[in-house]
Amino acid sequence: MKILKFGGKSLANQKGIQAVVDIITDNVKRGQLITVVLSARGKSTDELEEILEKASRNESYKEQLEAFKAYQKEIHQQLNIQEELTVLDKLFEGVSLLGDYSKRIKDQVLSQGEIISAKLITQLLRDIGINANFTDSRELIITDAQFGEAQPLDKLSKENVLDHFRKYNGDTVNVVTGFIASNANNETTTLGRNGSNYTASLLANYLDAEELQNFTHVNGIYTADPELVPDAKKIEKLSYSEANELAYFGTNILHAKTIIPLLEKNIPLRILNTFDHQSEGTLITSKASKKGIKSLSVLENVSLINLEGRGLLGKVGVDARIFKALAHKNINVSIISQGSSERGIGLVVGADRAKEAKLVLQQEFETDFSKRDVSTITIEKNVSVISIVGQDLSTFHKPYNALIRNQVIPLLFNNTVTGKNVSLVVKKDQLRKALNVIHGEIFGITKKINLAIFGHGLVGGTLIDQILKSAKDIEKRKKIDLNIFSIANSRKALLAIHGVDNSWKSDIEKKGVPYSVEDVIQFAEKHHLENLIAIDNTASADFTENYVNLVTNGFDLVSSNKVANTLSFEFYNELREKLKENQKQYLYETNVGAGLPLIDTIKLLHLSGENITRIKGVFSGSLSYLFNTFSIEDRSFSEVLQEAIDKGFTEPDPREDLCGNDVGRKLLILARELDLKNEFEDINIHNLIPEHLRDGDANQFLGKLKELDSIYEKIKADQEPNHVLRYIGDLHGDLSQEKGLLDVKLVSVPESSSLGQVKGSDSIFEIYTESYGDQPIVIQGAGAGAAVTARGVFGDILRLTDKGF
């Protein structure tokens, strides 16, 4: 014998009912013995409850009642449900006259929904020749007299059930009303909302069924509600005790008490989908899965009540008073949490009872108020509870940190004593984001990193192409999905929730919209995008003004733009304060030496307490090329410079390189990494442009390059033998002081020295430290160019994801 239970949603309309009839027919054809347990159709129980309320308040209810009747008749015109409808007429009439009703009356009203539903299915089955038998569970399940939440009396009920099934046996399909029962006085009772599941599991127990199939509108139990978490996965199999945990925290398919009768007889429970016959559903048995099961469940309509006051400190019995006062009013507390300082107590109650709960507590603690032992009782209305089932505290820091990084600060959290369940209270408008972040973290499912890229010139454009090209690979290897949801230039932004693709260049022209950075932030917020990184590939000073705003709105920063690190020390500090406050990172490896791992190395050395005493090197690729070539070739300075310009090694106006400011900026960035408080003005920069050529536009300058020749010819000639020219940055002095000495200058060095050996347009950095002594750590390689810079930015993005997104 299998018990098939169909819920309200399965019976809500013609389509569902047809599916139910098909499933039953299919079983009968296969010779499978079955018993069917039914809920009321659709929202019938809610409707009846509402009409009852209206009648008791003397409001007009007739229209709603007529609609209810029409709905019950619509599937089968000839169905005889006159008796039930008349009962309802009478009951409502009476309640309306009295202006009140008892729980006993309410159970009589609600029970009609199940009776009608079972009569309907019975009739439909008979119409197609199936030997169906309408079975009123009130004649079988006997309960105590606790109307609305009655407890079955097992012995009596079992006898009745066995008697009935002895009589109606063989190929008879008993179609049983769920939810309803009767007490010893033959009065109708109900088993509590969603009680049909309970009826089904009681029958399974009494009849020693081989399986209980619970037909719902979903394919089974998921790791989280798929409507809230698109990545949620179906759980194939779990144990009763695991299911019990799930059921307890709001999964409304199951209730703890439903599971007990099954557990007793070791009867498997299968959660199936009425509308998807193919799905195997979720099977619940007594066997626990090896790894333990994890899942997220949600309580949505709850409020958080906070009691605060110094008087709560160490007082015995406060909790007991809270519970007693609330229990007295039948207000259920689902979570309670107390700070270790015991100055505050938070508790979660149903949203509909929050006001009342506050009032009750205010009364209870009235005298404590006047003694100032309790200072405030507040309600936080729109909150939700997320329970991570199967989560113990040993690894709880992972989802917790992920939340904080995504700016979801739980208002309260607690764990069950068995330590297998952690619940968090979050603001309701953060529920979706929180669920997805936690889900991604604990299931190790691919984590989505959402990127907003500002600037798509040479570096930015190359970066986008690099990311799109390696995205698949990275997803496979690192389980990270890099999703570029925004690309922006100074005019337009291309916004795409699911990410841009290879046609981004034309898309930004076609579909791009004028924007402000705030719009990009809002877009991310609106679409609940998590793990946000803003990438600045502009060279713009203006754009850096958005950094703080981005950080406070949950973005980490990656930047190839040097400006933010070379503005005033005050801004430098402020930005870092904000980063710290918001637990955000800012990576800018490419600010110095492009993709070379320079900044990271310096950071590490500095952090590990290694005393860096000097940093010296060729910081500029274009000037490296210029002097490397000029030093060894017998050509004029202007000729070599022209060549560098032609090869695109310099800025369009080469004076931007020659003035030394760029090298100065890089030097300043390194100095600040060492906690030196230098300002740009502190740098001694040897400007390579003679004064009379510093003004005027680029073309004028380009026409006068020859005027440089005599100067540099002389410098070259004045060198000692076997020496070469290098334009270097040099950070030195006593670096334990507030400020260091920063020089940017042209020097002559032995050809055989490490600076002297640099070739082509390479950069070189010598890092001198206390423990390495005279032997510097040397980092050398291509320190400029779009491809290596983009690679470096990409590296920073991956570094961020490694830091535990």
Active-site residue list: 666
CB of 194 to ligand ASP, least distance (A): 4
Report how far residue 182's alpha carbon sits from residue 199's, in angstroms, rounded to the nearest whole number. 12
Could you give the count of Cα atoms lying within 13 Å of 635 in the half-sphere of its Cβ?
Answer: 14
Nearest in space to 249 (alpha carbons), one of 414, 408, 396: 414
Does the protein bind ligand ASP through residue 454 (CB under 6 A)?
A: no
Residue 655, Ramachandran bin (φ over 0: left; ψ between -120 and 50: alpha; else beta)? alpha
Residue 771 CB coordination number (10 Å): 9
Asked whether 132 and 126 are in contact (CB, 8 A), the reply is yes
Question: How many secondary structure helices (H) and strands (E) does the chain include?
Answer: 28, 30
Stretch that binds ligand ASP, among 187-195, 298-306, 360-368, 725-733 (CB under 6 A): 187-195
Q: What are 430's two structure tokens?
A: 């953060």
From residue 92 to residue 131, the character string flagging contacts with ligand ASP as x (rule: CB under 6 A) and all else as - is ---------------------x------------------
Question: What sign does the CA torsion over 172, 173, 175, 178 have?
Answer: positive
Residue 39, binding choice from ligand ASP, Mg ion, none, Cβ under 5 to 8 Å by partner class = ligand ASP
Helix/strand/coil (H, E, C) string of 357-414?
HHHHHHHHCHHHHHCCCCCEEEEEEEEEEEEEECCCHHHCHHHHHHHHHCCCCCCEEE
Report how far residue 763's alpha carbon sits from residue 757's, in angstroms, rounded to the nearest whole number. 11
Helix/strand/coil (H, E, C) string of 589-642?
HHHCCCCCCCHHHHHHHHHCCCCEEEEEEECCHHHHHHHHHHHHCCCCHHHHHH
Residue 596, binding choice from ligand ASP, Mg ion, none, Cβ under 5 to 8 Å by partner class = Mg ion
Residue 194, binding choice from Mg ion, ligand ASP, none, Cβ under 5 to 8 Å by partner class = ligand ASP
CB of 190 to ligand ASP, least distance (A): 8
Q: What are phi and psi of 521, to 5 degrees?
A: -60, -45
Residue from 16, 42, 152, 195 binding ligand ASP (CB under 6 A): 195
CB of 250 to ligand ASP, least distance (A): 15
Residue from 27, 45, 391, 415 binding ligand ASP (CB under 6 A): 45
Does the protein bind ligand ASP through residue 220 (CB under 6 A)?
A: no
Residue 40, binding choice from Mg ion, ligand ASP, none, Cβ under 5 to 8 Å by partner class = ligand ASP
CB of 180 to ligand ASP, least distance (A): 9
Residue 16, binding choice from Mg ion, ligand ASP, none, Cβ under 5 to 8 Å by partner class = none
CB of 780 to Mg ion, least distance (A): 12
Q: What are 172's two structure tokens?
A: 């008879």
β-strands 180-183, 447-454: how paired? Answer: unpaired
Asked whether 149 and 191 are in contact (CB, 8 A), the reply is yes
CB of 436 to ligand ASP, least distance (A): 30
Q: What are 137's two structure tokens?
A: 């569970």
Residue 598, binding choice from ligand ASP, Mg ion, none, Cβ under 5 to 8 Å by partner class = Mg ion
Residue from 179, 206, 572, 649 binding ligand ASP (CB under 6 A): 179
Nearest in space to 139 (alpha carbons), one of 110, 117, 113, 165: 165
Does the protein bind ligand ASP through residue 461 (CB under 6 A)?
A: no
Residue 282, binding choice from Mg ion, ligand ASP, none, Cβ under 5 to 8 Å by partner class = none
Residue from 345, 347, 596, 767 binding Mg ion (CB under 5 A): 596
Residues between 535 and 594 with contacts to Mg ion, criterion CB under 5 A: 589, 593
Residue 219 CB coordination number (10 Å): 18
CB of 6 to ligand ASP, least distance (A): 10
Does the protein bind Mg ion through residue 615 (CB under 5 A)?
A: no
Stretch that binds ligand ASP, among 132-140, 193-201, 217-225, 383-391 (CB under 6 A): 193-201
Report how far residue 633's alpha carbon sits from residue 336's, in angstroms, rounded to the nearest whole number. 80
Stretch that binds ligand ASP, among 192-200, 293-301, 364-372, 703-711 (CB under 6 A): 192-200
Residue 538, binding choice from ligand ASP, Mg ion, none, Cβ under 5 to 8 Å by partner class = none
CA 626 to each of CA 633, 657, 668, 724, 763: distance values in angstroms, whole numbers, following the listed order = 11, 11, 23, 12, 12
Stretch that binds ligand ASP, among 39-47, 504-512, 539-547, 664-672 (CB under 6 A): 39-47
Query: With respect to ligand ASP, which residue has the nearer C-beta, 253 or 451?
Result: 253
Query: With respect to Mg ion, which residue has the nearer C-beta, 408 or 779?
Result: 779
Query: With respect to ligand ASP, which residue has the nearer C-beta, 201 or 436?
Result: 201
Report how far residue 681's alpha carbon sits from residue 552's, in angstroms, rounded to the nearest whole number. 30
Kindly calculate the radius of gyration of the chain based on its CA atoms and give it in whole angstroms. 37
Stretch that binds ligand ASP, among 38-46, 96-104, 265-273, 599-607 (CB under 6 A): 38-46
Asked whether 315 and 373 are in contact (CB, 8 A), the reply is yes
Residue 444 CB coordination number (10 Å): 9
Does the protein bind Mg ion through residue 598 (CB under 5 A)?
A: yes
From residue 536 to residue 565, the character string flagging contacts with ligand ASP as x (rule: CB under 6 A) and all else as - is ------------------------------
CB of 642 to Mg ion, least distance (A): 29
Query: With respect to Mg ion, which residue has the nearer C-beta, 11 or 587?
Result: 587
Report how far residue 116's alpha carbon sits from residue 109's, in angstroms, rounded to the nearest whole number. 12
CB of 44 to ligand ASP, least distance (A): 7
Stretch that binds ligand ASP, among 136-144, 188-196, 669-677, 779-787 (CB under 6 A): 188-196
Does the protein bind ligand ASP through residue 39 (CB under 6 A)?
A: yes
Query: With respect to Mg ion, which residue has the nearer C-beta, 389 or 779?
Result: 779
Does the protein bind ligand ASP through residue 8 (CB under 6 A)?
A: yes
Report how far residue 144's alpha carbon sits from residue 183's, in angstroms, rounded to the nearest whole number. 5
Terminal alpha carbon distance of the chain: 50
Task: Determine the residue with CB nearest Mg ion.
Answer: 593
Asked whether 274 and 19 are in contact (CB, 8 A), the reply is yes
Query: With respect to Mg ion, which residue has the nearer C-beta, 299 or 598?
Result: 598
CA angle 767, 773, 776 (to 5 degrees): 30
CA 718 to each of CA 159, 637, 639, 690, 758: distance values in angstroms, whole numbers, following the listed order = 115, 15, 20, 18, 21
Query: With respect to ligand ASP, which residue has the nearer C-beta, 114 or 796?
Result: 114
Residue from 194, 214, 415, 613 binding ligand ASP (CB under 6 A): 194
Query: With respect to Mg ion, which residue has the nearer C-beta, 309 or 792?
Result: 792
Number of residues that bind ligand ASP (CB under 6 A): 13
Asked whether 221 and 10 are in contact (CB, 8 A), the reply is no
Residue 27, binding choice from Mg ion, ligand ASP, none, Cβ under 5 to 8 Å by partner class = none
Strands (E), 695-761: 723-732, 741-750
Q: What are 367's two structure tokens?
A: 């005298």
Residues that bind Mg ion (CB under 5 A): 589, 593, 596, 598
Can you give the binding site for ligand ASP, defined by CB under 6 A? 7-8, 39-40, 45, 113, 178-179, 193-197
